[in-house]
Amino acid sequence: MSVRIKVLVVDDSAVVRKVLSEVLNSDVGIEVIAVAPDPIFAQEKMKKQWPDVVVLDVEMPRMDGITFLRKIMTERPTPVVICSSISQKGSETAMQALAAGAVGIVPKPGIGNRRAAMEDAGADLVRAVKTAAHANVRNLKSNSAMPPAVAMPKLNTDAILPAASQAMAQTTERIVAIGTSTGGTQALETVLTALPRVSPGIVIVQHMPEKFTASFAARLDTLCQIEVREAQNGDRVMPGRALIAPGGRHMLLKRNGSQYHVEVVDGPVVNRHRPSVDVLFRSVAKFAGRNALGVIMTGMGDDGARGLKEMHDVGAATVAQDEASCVVYGMPKEAVKLGGVDRSASLQAIPAEIMKYA
């Protein structure tokens, strides 16, 4: 029998602690070894038995979750999943937690009908904990990414967009498409903050729940020379701008003459994600072809691997983050296995790869 993932739940609500514990213990691969109402109590629990994963609230008495997270990452780096409100204040606080080294985030429902809502979101939490348990936290200097969406039928990209039938004619307008998941917020911050204002237009899918991408993009915008924003339908892709797909919606690249723009659409979950990297990459293959560079970075699963292969097959340049610098070497590994990667590069080398292509 395989060893179960040991989890510590830290939340000031007794109801939340009880429901989260029930949800996690219902999975045969997970065991909640302790619960605590705040970080002070949590530290006492951790002296007795150290968890594999911590599920952590951010707003608590005596010590807030972000301070506690920083303490954990300094003293004994351990995967942490944030369970946070999806209010504007909550999402901004959650972004600070990701910047402090959290691996993932699960939205916490509002006060009304909280117990039933949490039980409905149980699959998200279980998947987030299992993903976190595989994370290489040594590569989490300051940031991280999101858990995969709830398990459901694994549709492919055909559900959104047919494959490209031929390569687009090459132009001087270059596009960079980036896809990432677990560990991706740290990776994206490293890449985007290193780019000069004259960098090519960038389109990004980062697996992240609805309502969190706006805060994530706004935070990056304050750190980067380039403009970073959550994409809106019809936004133009242009030099010096990075557009991040909104959580809960797919983003596709489209072309009108010599100009590129994005289309933000609803649609079924693809590869268990919405937004899906495969959907973005296929649209880039279809409408940009040889005019594009595809970059696949740290993340669990295989979303984006097939789309990157499609980009490669129509003449786009393709790069994968290497194993040594990934938090989770899942998506890049699958892309390499499919033969869709021209070369692998460390996280620190990816900005140079982008500018070399431009």
CA distances from 291 to 32, 172, 223, 287 (A): 50, 8, 28, 9
Q: Which residue in the list 21, 85, 91, 181 is annotated as catalytic?
A: 181
Query: For residue 26, what is the DSSP state?
Result: T
Spatial distance between the Cα atoms of 107 and 86, rounded to a whole number of angstroms: 6
Asked if 72 contacts 45 with a C-beta cutoff of 8 angstroms, the reply is no
Three-class SS of 287-317: HCHHHEEEEECCECCCCCHHHHHHHHHCCCE
Query: For residue 59, what is the DSSP state?
Result: S
Domains located in the chain, CATH noted: 5-133 (3.40.50.2300), 157-357 (3.40.50.180)
* Catalytic residue list contains 312: no
What are the pLDDT digits (tens) for 270-309?
A: 888 899 999 999 999 999 999 999 999 999 999 999 999 9
pTM given for the model: 0.83
What are the pLDDT digits (tens) for 313-339?
A: 999 999 999 999 999 999 999 999 999
**CA geometry: angle 318, 224, 341, nearest 5 deg:** 10
* Catalytic residue list contains 57: no
Inter-axis angle of helices 277-287 and 305-313, nearest 10: 10
Spatial distance between the Cα atoms of 273 and 208, rounded to a whole number of angstroms: 9
Q: What's the confidence (pLDDT) of residue 148?
A: 37
Q: What's the confidence (pLDDT) of residue 146?
A: 37
Q: Is the pLDDT of residue 1 over 50?
A: no
Percent pLDDT > 70 in the chain is 85
Asked if 201 contacts 175 with a C-beta cutoff of 8 angstroms, the reply is yes
What are the pLDDT digits (tens) for 23-80?
A: 899 999 999 999 999 999 999 999 999 999 999 998 888 888 889 999 999 899 999 9
Q: Which residue in the list 207, 250, 261, 273 is annotated as catalytic?
A: 207
Q: What's the confidence (pLDDT) of residue 16?
A: 87
Inter-axis angle of helices 305-313 and 331-338, nearest 10: 40
What are the pLDDT digits (tens) for 177-208?
A: 999 999 999 899 999 999 999 999 999 999 98
**CA geometry: angle 196, 199, 202, nearest 5 deg:** 125
Three-class SS of 81-107: EEEEECCHHHHHHHHHHHHCCCCEEEE
Q: Is the pLDDT of residue 249 over 80?
A: yes
Spatial distance between the Cα atoms of 281 and 305, rounded to a whole number of angstroms: 9
Please state the separation of Cα 155 from the chain's center in Å.
Answer: 19
What are the pLDDT digits (tens) for 121-180?
A: 677 889 899 999 989 988 875 433 333 333 344 556 665 566 655 555 555 589 999 999
* Catalytic residue list contains 346: no
What are the pLDDT digits (tens) for 78-88?
A: 999 998 776 55
Q: What's the confidence (pLDDT) of residue 84?
A: 78
Spatial distance between the Cα atoms of 79 and 102, rounded to a whole number of angstroms: 7
Q: Which residue in the list 303, 312, 322, 325 is annotated as catalytic?
A: 303
* 305 φψ region: left (φ > 0), alpha (ψ -120 to 50), beta (else): alpha
Least trusted range by pLDDT, from 24-33, 70-79, 92-101, 260-269: 92-101
Q: What's the confidence (pLDDT) of residue 151?
A: 39
Whether a cis peptide bond, with omega within 30° of 0, leads into 275 is: yes
